[in-house]
Structure 1
């Protein structure tokens, strides 16, 4: 029997999408609970540390997107084969998170002049820096982030990159062939391809 599973997150891809990818890949049926950004202030006090996504699985509640993905990765045989491989996945995911936070910081900047400056820095410095290094990492590891094989870190990258594409309004992997190939590889997995074909259309 499939576990009783609920994912609560904004009506967006964001950092909820890697979790959705992993749940779909693992054929774990889940209730995709979404809410509008306008409802967040009233919901925030009832969440652990005032953040989402939240995953409830078999009555146990989890928060922190990377921790949730790591948990699912272990369940699905997508974690490292040893402590070193696991650490390498964590390093890659933390690096992707560093980039994602810079993208988010730009997107939510309320002051227009400051936002334009952040956009210039993001497009001309931050994205090229991280993407070049991540692209080289994937090339070094035979088409994956770690150890030449599929890991939960690859799903994390593919899911989060969908969100980052929406923010900057272009495919962030377009000039980085190894990352582009990895993203395509994940998106063409049958379970992920099916999810993408039916997931709600969102702006983030």
Structure 2
């Protein structure tokens, strides 16, 4: 029987990997469609808003990676047990996503001179600011980002960490022991471990 869910994204980790992690965690079978960059210009006009990922279920198609991830988190029961817990988790995820956007603004800057000027403040100020506070948050929550238990914020961070490291060209958590332990815990989850072992080797 064909999978009930279909995820279409580029052949990379990036914004698609948190969704893949969440579905894998819940042992939910899904079709993992990967688009090569050279295919994208011809496919882009046929997408709802000219962007990926796309998520399909029962003939319905939706875009927006964070909305999809949050939906998948509900499917696999990694959201909060009440509205305040859900708020704590969303706050952690949005903070991680803020960091991603700041790193991406540097990485995808087309002007090489401007890009070079952005690197020092990013590496010496912005990234340490975020990592120090994320590290403290995990320490204060007994090894997790929120609610002192495993939530989708933890899977989101670990799933996207490789992409952040790729964009910045360094290991963001090399001096953050609590974040390192969190990464190890998530990657040791049986279904996540199985996904990482079998997933296609993307470009990054």
- 1:2, 1:28 within 8 Å by CA — same for their partners in 2? no
Stretches of 4+ moved more than 4 A in 1? Answer: none
Aligned to 1:126: 126
1:140 & 1:62 partners in 2: Cα distance?
Answer: 36
| 8 Å Cα contact 2:19-2:68 kept in structure 1 | yes
In the alignment, the residues of structure 2 paired with residue 125 and residue 47 of structure 1 have an alpha-carbon distance, to the nearest angstrom, of: 38
Q: How far has the Cα of 1:198 moved from its partner?
A: 2.0
Gaps (5+ residues) in structure 2? Answer: none
Query: Is 1:48 aligned to residue 48 of structure 2?
Result: yes
**1:2 Cα deviation (Å)?**
8.1
**How far does residue 3 in structure 1 lie from its aligned partner after superposition?**
5.0
Contact kept in structure 2, 1:3 and 1:58, CA below 8 Å: no
TM-score, length basis structure 1: 0.94
CA distance in 1, matches of 2:197, 2:55: 23
* Secondary structure of 1:149's aligned partner: coil
Equivalent-residue separation in structure 2 for 1:126 and 1:48 (angstroms): 34
1:59-100 CA distances to partner (integer Å, 9 max, x unpaired)? 332221111111111111111011111011111111111111
Q: What is the aligned length? A: 204
| Cα deviation code 1:83-138 (max 9, x no counterpart) | 11101111111111111111111111111111111222221111111111111111
The equivalent residue for 2:115 is 115
Out of 114-123 and 18-27, give the one that drifted further.
Answer: 114-123
Measured in 1, the distance between the counterparts of 2:35 and 2:3 equals 23
Secondary structure at 1:182 match in 2: helix
Between 5-14 and 34-43, the greater mean CA deviation after superposition: 34-43
Partner residue, 2:162: 162
CA RMSD of aligned residues (A): 1.5
What is the TM-score with the length of structure 2 in the denominator?
Answer: 0.94
After TM superposition, the structure 1 = structure 2 runs for residues 128-147 of structure 1, keeping only pairs within 5 Å, are 128-147=128-147
In the alignment, what sits opposite 2:19? Answer: 19
Structure 1 unmatched ranges of 5 or more: none
Give the equivalent residue in structure 1 for 2:187: 187
What does the per-residue CA deviation read over 1:147-167, in whole Å, with 9 as the maximum and x for residues that have no partner?
Answer: 100111111111111211122
Counterparts of 1:9-88 in structure 2, within 5 Å, are: 9-88=9-88
